[in-house]
Amino acid sequence: GAVVSQHPSRVICKSGTSVKIECRSLDFQATTMFWYRQFPKQSLMLMATSNEGSKATYEQGVEKDKFLINHASLTLSTLTVTSAHPEDSSFYICSASGGDYEQYFGPGTRLTVT
């Protein structure tokens, strides 16, 4: 099956710094990638949708200047959390779609901001 990787799996950073999370589709070309955030015991919340070579579409309430998304190629998307604060601590998950209805999820990145 299709494999999506995320890096890093865990990151701890100080308040005010920026953190970049990578999402890669390893064995297929992802026309669309999605970024989600999940708080404990809650559902995945879609943050943004990105298509290769174009600007990401952000969901209502998600600050585009804080969560920078770059989808530079058909196999790589990055999410940068800028000027991170403790309330940004969460589990960030990406998914990739090759054009059909299935989304293939990465293993997630646990971000802790101290």
Footprint of other proteins (CB under 8 A): 4, 6, 32, 34, 36, 41-46, 49, 91, 93, 95, 97, 101-108, 110
Nearer to other proteins among residue 4 and residue 79 (C-beta):
4
Minimum gap (Å) between residue 96 Cβ and other proteins: 11
Q: Which residue has the tokens 């585009």?
A: 64
Nearer to other proteins among residue 55 and residue 110 (C-beta):
110
Rounded-to-integer distance, Cα 55 and Cα 83, Å: 21
Nearer to other proteins among residue 82 and residue 89 (C-beta):
89
CB 94 within 8 A of CB 67: no
CB 95 within 8 A of CB 33: yes
